[in-house]
Chains A and B, each alone.
Chain A
Amino acid sequence: MEQLLHMDQVNKNYGGKIALQNVSLTVGSGRIIGLLGTNGSGKSTMMKIAAGLIQPASGTAEILGRPVGLETKALVSFMPDRPLTESWMKVKDALQFYEDFYTDFDPLKAERMLQFMNLNLGDKISTLSKGMNERLQLTLALSRNASLYLLDEPIGGVDPVARGKILDAIVEFYNEDSSIIISTHLVRDIERIFDEVIFIRNGELVLHDEVENIRLKHGKSIDDMFKEVFAE
C-alpha cells in the first residue's frame, strides 16, 4: 500500500491539555476515510497537523514520504470547519481567490461542481444559508487536484437534504487516485461512503479498520460501534 499519509507517535498538547497522544497511522491512496470522534476528541488537531497548519509536539507526520511542511501543502487540500472566505465576497470572488492561491485549482471542475450544488457565481457569500455555504466550501476544497483531501465536519450543522447533496457530491466528484479523510460525529448518515474508519477518543486512536470488516466481525453498523466505543 502506498503511504499517502503516515503518522508516527504524534503528540500534541495545548498548554496542559492533551490533544493527541501517541497517534500512529498509515493511510493509503484511493480511499475515503471517516475520522470519527466526539467533540474535542482531537479530530481537528489531527487534520491540522496533516495539513501542516500546526506542528506536533513530538513524533512525525509525512505525506507521500515527505515530512509535512511547505512542500506537502501543495499535496493536501484542507476544508476547515470555519470558512476561509470573506463575507464581502461573491461566489466568483471565492473561486478567483482559490485559483490565485492554488496552482492545482481546476476552474472547470469548480464550475461543474457549482452547477451540481445549485450555486451561482453571482451569489453573495454573506447571504448564503449554512447548508449552501458548506456546499461552496466543499466545492472549493474538492476543485483542487490534490493527493489528500481533509474535510473537517463537512456535514456538521446542515439539514438532511443538504447533507444528502454533500454526500452525493463527494461520491460524484471524488478522484479515485486521491484519498479523502472526513471528520464527523454524524456517523449514521455517512457510513456507507467510507472504506475505513478511524476512531479517536481523548486524543488516542482506539480503532482503525475497514468498515466492511467491522460489519463482518461484529455484525454491527459503524454507528452502533461508534456509540459503543464512545459510551459515557
Chain B
Amino acid sequence: MCHEVSIEFDNNLPIYLQIMNYIKKQIITGKLQPGDKIPSVRELAVELQINPNTIQRTFQELEREEIVETRRGLGRYVTSEESKIMSIKKEMAGDLIQHFIQGMQELGFKEKDILTIVSDAFETDKSNLKEEG
C-alpha cells in the first residue's frame, strides 16, 4: 500500500473521513489483506503530505470500529476477523444504494419503477456480454 497510495482529496470534506474510506476500500478490494501491517502515522503523513494528527485520528477511528488493531510495540494491523470485513462491505454497499435510491427518487421514480429499471439494466448487461462472448 505504501508505494501506491493515491487519493484525490476533496478539501471541502474532513480529510480523516476520506482516508478512512480509502483504507476501507483497500481492505474490501483485497489490496490490504486481513492481518496486513499498515504504514505508520509518520510514513503515511509524509506520503500523503497530510498533518500527522489527522492520520492519527484516522487510525483511532478505524480502531474504534475494530477494523484496525494495534499490537503493542509492533504497529497497526488490519483485523483478521472476516466478519468485520464483511460488515465494512455491507456498510459501503448500503451507502451506495442509499445514494442511488435518493437520486432516483429525486428524478421522480417510485420503488416499482426503480426495481424495473435496475433489472432491465442487468438484462442489457447480460445480453451485451453474450454478444461479446
Partner-B contacts on A (CB < 8 A) = 30-32, 164, 167-168, 171-172, 174, 176, 188, 191-195, 211-212, 215-216, 219-224
Contacts and interface: CB of A to CB of B under 8 A. Distances in A.
Interface residues of B, number: 17
B30 to A, nearest CB: 28
Contacts of B73: none
Interface in B65-94: none
Interface stretch (B47-55, B99-107, B124-132): B47-55
B49 A30 contact: no
B118 interface: no
B51 A215 contact: no
Nearest to B54: A212
B70 to A, nearest CB: 17
B11 A215 contact: yes
Contact of A30 (B11, B12, B53, B54): B53
Contact of A192 (B12, B46, B49, B57): B49
B121 interface: no
Given A172-B46, A212-B14, 17 more contacts: A30-B53, A32-B53, A168-B46, A171-B45, A171-B46, A171-B49, A171-B50, A171-B52, A192-B48, A193-B49, A211-B15, A215-B11, A215-B14, A215-B15, A216-B14, A219-B13, A224-B11
Contacts of B16: 212
Contacts of A211: 15, 51
Given A171-B45, A171-B46, A172-B46, A192 B52 contact: no
Given A215-B13, A215-B15, A194 B46 contact: no
- Ranked nearest first, the 10 interchain pairs of A and B with the lowest CB-CB distance are A221-B11, A212-B14, A215-B14, A221-B12, A193-B51, A195-B53, A172-B46, A216-B14, A192-B50, A171-B46
Contacts of A219: 12-13
Contacts of B15: 192, 211-212, 215
Interface string B1-25: 0000000010111111000000000
